[in-house]
Amino acid sequence: MSSSSEPPKSSFPPSGGVAVVVNGNAKSVTDEVISNLDQILRGTDLYVSKSLEHAKEISERLVLQGYGTVLTGGGDGTFTVMVSEVVAAADRLGRPRPRFGFIKLGTGNALAHVVGVGGTNDLAADIRRLKEEAGSRKIGLVEVDGTLTPFCGFGVDAEMLADYAHVKNQLANTPLQRLGQGLGGYVLSSVGRTLPRQMFRSMFHCRITNCGTTGLRLGAGGRPIGKPIEYGEVIYEGPARMVGAATIPYFGFGMRYFPHAEEYPEKMSLRVTTMGPIEFARNIKAIWRGEYENPSHVFDFVATDVLVQVDPPIAFQVGGDVRRERREARLRLSPKPIRLVDFYVPPRSE
């Protein structure tokens, strides 16, 4: 098994080969999962990343070895890290970028809903389908601080992720461990920590400035409303509980929080919400399906490059990984899309 940054010494992978990179720190990536992957991946190479520095080392090796496809396993955060590092290495070394794919091993897995990937019980079937059936398509990503990600955000979503991690860690190695995992863990942490906190917390102030090409405000059904928003103009200024940007419709567990993201492929989707916890709870089904529209509390835009400024500093997440609190972030649509393996796309569409 090739479970380090070193590829097997007995063979040199041909151009267009498949590499699989899993996050060795993800709790779902057990020794059993790694062993199963190694048995499934005949003729491919398996790499287990243990740290950010290790991910950089692996990424450079993948590019130099000329892999045509890089699959990541460990959740949306693992995908974000590996795509960012592999793209940076390919551009730095003047090598072609591989296409990227996703194996559902982590929690949330927003990308799994985009590309039709199953869970860990379907690893063999998914990889077989990859080789025999899956095509790929171009997808843009949000670029923030040199990281490429399908989504990021300030406010409640980042707090929910932090609360989930707290509850999961508190219940780990106890008889209640399973309650703190997966969707149930998110519900428990949200109901027990995030939403009660929001009941007594004032909204933060947000200012979003257009730093790119013409932006648009979206109304009912995702249709443009109002006048176009030009470079240097303010897209939104006012109170907010959450400010997010995405190039895919989903957050984790299939929540279509950015329902118009794929309708404007040359732009990224922006959503600002002032929705309180009671309104959120009352409309959870419509929100989950991406059908909730309330122009008094939900503000949708599309743009290519924005500066988001918040006061006071607030929690921030990138690809489902919580970062430090911050006052601002420059978010832009990466100028070069990646190719993403998609089981909904037939191979002949390549």
Classify residue 346 by burial, with Cβ atoms within 10 Å: 0-12, 13-18, 19+. Answer: exposed
Predicted confidence band at 258 (pLDDT cuts at 50, 70, 90)? very high
Overall average pLDDT of the 282-296 stretch: 91
Cα–Cα dist 47/191, whole Å: 38
3 state DSSP class of 34? helix
Domain 18-140+338-349 has CATH 2.60.40.420: no
pLDDT of residue 42: 66
CATH number of 151-333: 2.60.200.40
Q: Average pLDDT of the chain?
A: 85
Q: Which one is predicted more confidently, 194 or 64?
A: 64
3-state helix, strand, coil in the chain (%, to 5): 35, 30, 35
Rounded CA gap, 229 and 123, in Å? Answer: 45
Among 25-29, 236-240, 274-278, 310-314, the range scoring the smallest mean pLDDT is 25-29
Burial 145-184, CB ≥16 within 10 A → b, else e: eebbbbbbbbbbbbbbbbbbbebbeebeeeeeeeebbbee
Under the banding of pLDDT at 50, 70 and 90, the label for residue 94 is very high
- Residue 33 confidence (pLDDT): 76
Task: Evaluate if residue 234 carries a pLDDT over 90.
Answer: yes
- Picking from 143-157, 175-189, 192-206, 255-269, which range would have the lowest pLDDT averaged per residue? 175-189
Share of the chain above pLDDT 70, in %: 84
Angle at 326 between CA 51 and CA 296, to 5 degrees: 120
Beta bridge partner(s), residue 65: none
Which position has the token pair 């109002």? 226
Tell me the torsion sign for CA atoms 50, 328, 215, 249.
Answer: positive
Maximum alpha-carbon separation in the chain? 63
Quick check: 195 pLDDT over 50? yes
Q: How confident is the model at residue 207 (pLDDT cuts 50, 70, 90)?
A: very high
Q: Where are the domains of the chain?
A: 18-140+338-349, 151-333
- Of the pLDDT bands very low, low, confident and very high (cuts 50, 70, 90), residue 346 is low
| 10 contact partners, CB below 8 Å, separation of at least 6 | none
* 105 neighbors 120 (Cβ within 8 angstroms): yes
In tens, the pLDDT along 314-344 reads 999 999 899 999 999 999 999 999 999 876 6
145 or 101, which is more confident: 145
Q: Can you give the pLDDT at residue 129?
A: 67
**How much is the pLDDT for 171?**
87
Beta bridge partners of 208: 236, 308
- 18-140+338-349 and 151-333 agree in CATH topology: no
Strand partners, 298: 273
Looking at this protein, which amino acid is placed at residue 95? R
Query: Mapping DSSP to helix (H, G, I), strand (E, B) and coil, where does residue 44 land?
Result: coil
Q: Let me know if 63 is exposed, middle or buried by CB neighbors in 10 A (0-12, 13-18, 19+).
A: buried
Distances (CA, A) of 170 to 157, 163, 266: 20, 10, 42
Whether residue 312 has a cis bond before it, omega within 30° of 0: yes
Question: What percentage of the chain has pLDDT greater than the value 90?
Answer: 49
- Asked if residue 213 has pLDDT above 90, the reply is yes
Output the pLDDT for position 165.
79
> Does residue 80 surpass a pLDDT of 80?
yes
Calculate the CA 279 to chain-centre distance: 26
Contact between residue 61 and residue 95 where contact means Cβ atoms under 8 Å apart: no
Give the total residue count for the chain.
Answer: 350
Which neighbouring-strand residues pair with 48? 22
pLDDT (tens digit, 9 = 90+) per residue, 145-165? Answer: 999 999 999 999 888 888 887
Average pLDDT over residues 76-89: 93
Give the residue among 152, 187, 146, 89 at the shortest CA–CA distance from 320: 152
Rounded Cα distance, 345 and 233, in Å: 38
**Per-residue model confidence (pLDDT) at position 168:** 81
Token pair in block for residue 162 = 């932090």
> Which of 32-41, 87-96, 185-194, 333-342 is least confident?
32-41
Average pLDDT over residues 205-218: 98
Nearest of 139, 181, 196, 144 to residue 317 by alpha carbon: 144
User: pLDDT class for 13, splitting at 50, 70, 90?
Assistant: very low
Convert the pLDDT of each residue in 14-49 to its tens digit. Answer: 446 888 898 877 666 777 777 777 777 765 688 988
